[in-house]
């Protein structure tokens, strides 16, 4: 308790010195874990979830999100007391055709399902890589759509890399010229560049989330070398190395970027806790997809010909062959928002959001026993 109070006092003083105020704007970058529907508004993109039963549990219609309801970003926005973010491409279309005079005040979601940290990942699918997402954001700044004071108050969310690593193990993909360690170093160099450029345009609050255990997704059934009775350890080993590098980048932010604050969300170990004790977190199945077909439900995308859907998505860790269910996202979001140092560090998103140059951070919500 004393340690938590001391941290709150430190953050209040730190944010005061930096001139930070509680943010009202969020900018989101990443892949299908964060995508709020950008791919749906990209006519050249074939990686889509804009058909039933995606979205069925919350929105009751497909929104382009690759799950049955809300994503982590949606929950975080709701915790912050703001409306759900719109996909950048949807907002851009409304501004360009004159329907809207300006972009939403709560920020934008640039994430693109299927994209990677590396520009080449799934480019044949027409996805928007992190580099291009960042260019879209930088173009808005050049157009004076968002001003520096607003950017300084904003929170930037990043999650990306699972597609790069999964594709590394595809048997029918062109062989990579890089060994796993070199591949990870290349990915981390791109994330480092991303942080630098966000800082360069005025960003001062950054949250970077680790990958989950990608080697456990039902889609591993598509890989001849992957086991079905357990996770693909070789893939998860690569994920762990990448996640460790991400955390090192976050730890280095205060020294490398004066005035910036960054947190690291350890989604990997959080999901591992779900898998180790499913009933504690409300799960009955942590291996198979709720919606899909074939081995592990991982051979057919949800909604495609021949798919089958489970009776209760809340029982499942995975909604489809790659993506978590809304229930899983809800659990992850609560832990990132109000959880302990074992899940997000050096402090949680609620504390990051609450920093103000006028008041101390709001009291950190006490997580229940399941918010680790």
In this prediction, residue 175 carries a pLDDT of 64
pLDDT at 369: 39
Choose among 85, 66, 63, 64: nearest CA to 74.
85
Give percent of the chain above pLDDT 70: 88
- β-pairing verdict for 285-289 and 308-309: unpaired
CA distances for 211 relative to 163, 242, 266, 267, angstroms: 10, 8, 8, 6
Q: Is residue 152 part of a domain?
A: yes
Phi, psi at residue 204, to the nearest 5°? -130, -10
- 364 in a domain, yes or no? no
Distances (CA, A) of 22 to 150, 154, 158: 11, 8, 19
Look up the domain containing 111 and give its range. Answer: 2-354
| Angle at which helices 88-96 and 130-142 cross, to 10° | 40
| pLDDT, position 8 | 40
Over 90: is that where the pLDDT of 15 sits? Answer: no
- Cα 224 to chain centroid, rounded: 28
For residue range 143-197, what is the model confidence (pLDDT) as tens digits? 999 998 999 999 999 999 999 999 999 987 666 678 999 999 999 999 999 999 9
pLDDT digits (tens, 9 = 90+) for 103-137: 999 999 999 999 999 999 999 999 999 999 999 99
Distances, alpha carbon 136 to alpha carbons 27, 164, 189, in Å: 11, 21, 20
Interval 240-256: pLDDT, tens: 999 999 999 999 999 99
Task: Please say if the pLDDT value at position 83 is more than 50.
Answer: yes
Is residue 140 assigned to a domain? Answer: yes
Give residue 23's pLDDT band: very low, low, confident or very high (50, 70, 90). low
Please report whether residue 370 resides in a domain: no
- What sign results for the dihedral spanned by CA atoms 88, 89, 95, 100? negative
pLDDT in the model for residue 220: 98
Catalytic residue IDs: 32, 320, 323
Per-residue pLDDT for 306 more than 60? yes
The answer on pLDDT for 326 being more than 90 is yes
Q: What is the pLDDT of residue 133?
A: 98
Residue 344 is assigned to a structural domain of this protein: yes
Asked whether residue 372 is domain-assigned, the answer is no
Q: Is the pLDDT of residue 344 over 80?
A: yes
Q: pLDDT of 265-297, one tens digit each?
A: 999 999 999 999 999 999 999 999 999 999 999
- Residue 354 binned pLDDT confidence (cut-offs 50, 70, 90): confident
Instruction: Tell me the pLDDT of the chain averaged across its residues.
Output: 90
Q: Percent of the chain at pLDDT above 90?
A: 84
Residue 364 has pLDDT above 80, yes or no: no
Rounded Cα distance between 292 and 296, Å, is 8
pLDDT surpasses 50 at 366: no
Residue 171 lies in a domain: yes
- pLDDT of 102 > 50? The answer is yes
Count of C-beta atoms within a 10 Å radius of residue 306 = 9
| C-beta neighbour count of 109 within 10 angstroms | 30
In a domain, 226, yes or no: yes
Say yes or no to pLDDT of 86 above 50.
yes
pLDDT of 84 strictly over 90? yes
How many domains, the chain? Answer: 1
> Per-residue pLDDT averaged across 305-333, rounded?
98
pLDDT value of residue 365: 41
Buried b / exposed e across 5-35, counting CB within 10 Å, b at 16+? eebbeebbeebbebebbbbbbbbbbbbbbbb
CATH code: domain of residue 338: 3.40.50.1110
Q: What pLDDT was estimated at residue 141?
A: 96
Question: Of the candidates 66, 85, 112, which has an alpha carbon nearest to the alpha carbon of residue 25?
Answer: 85
Q: Is the pLDDT of residue 367 over 60?
A: no
Assess whether pLDDT exceeds 90 at residue 372: no
What integer pLDDT is reported at residue 172 of this predicted model?
A: 77
| Residues 28-43, mean pLDDT to the nearest whole number | 97
Q: Stretch 230-249: mean pLDDT, rounded?
A: 98
């Amino acid at each position: 308790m004393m340690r938590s109070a001391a941290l709150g006092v430190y953050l209040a003083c730190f944010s005061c010195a930096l001139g930070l105020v509680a943010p009202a704007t969020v900018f989101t970058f990443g892949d299908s874990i964060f995508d709020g529907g950008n791919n749906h508004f990209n006519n050249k993109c074939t990686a889509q979830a804009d058909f039933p039963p995606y979205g069925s549990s919350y929105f009751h219609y497909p929104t382009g999100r690759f799950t049955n309801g809300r994503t982590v970003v949606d929950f975080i926005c709701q915790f912050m007391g703001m409306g759900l973010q719109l996909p950048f491409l949807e907002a851009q279309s409304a501004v360009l055709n004159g329907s809207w005079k300006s972009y939403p005040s709560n920020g934008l979601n640039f994430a693109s399902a299927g994209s990677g940290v590396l520009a080449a990942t799934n480019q044949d699918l027409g996805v928007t890589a992190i580099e291009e997402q960042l260019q879209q954001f930088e173009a808005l700044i050049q157009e004076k759509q968002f001003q520096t004071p607003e950017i300084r108050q904003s929170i930037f969310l990043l999650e990306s890399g699972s597609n790069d690593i999964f594709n590394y193990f595809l048997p029918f993909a062109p062989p990579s010229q890089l060994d796993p360690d070199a591949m990870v170093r290349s990915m981390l160099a791109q994330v480092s560049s991303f942080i630098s450029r966000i800082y360069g345009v005025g960003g001062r609050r950054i949250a970077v989330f680790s990958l989950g255990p990608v080697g456990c997704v039902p889609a591993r059934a598509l890989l001849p070398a992957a086991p079905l009775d357990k996770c693909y350890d070789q893939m998860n080993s690569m994920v762990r190395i990448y996640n460790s590098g991400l955390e090192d980048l976050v730890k280095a932010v205060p020294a490398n970027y004066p005035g910036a604050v960054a947190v690291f969300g350890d989604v990997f170990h959080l999901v591992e806790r779900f898998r180790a004790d499913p009933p504690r977190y409300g799960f009955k199945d942590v291996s198979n997809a709720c919606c899909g077909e074939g081995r592990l439900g991982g051979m057919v995308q949800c909604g495609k010909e021949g798919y089958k859907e489970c009776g209760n998505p809340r029982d499942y860790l995975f909604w489809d062959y790659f993506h978590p269910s809304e229930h899983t996202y809800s659990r992850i979001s609560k832990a990132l928002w109000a959880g302990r140092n074992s899940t997000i560090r050096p402090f949680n998103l609620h504390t990051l959001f609450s920093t103000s140059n006028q008041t101390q951070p709001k009291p950190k919500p006490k997580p229940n026993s399941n918010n680790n």
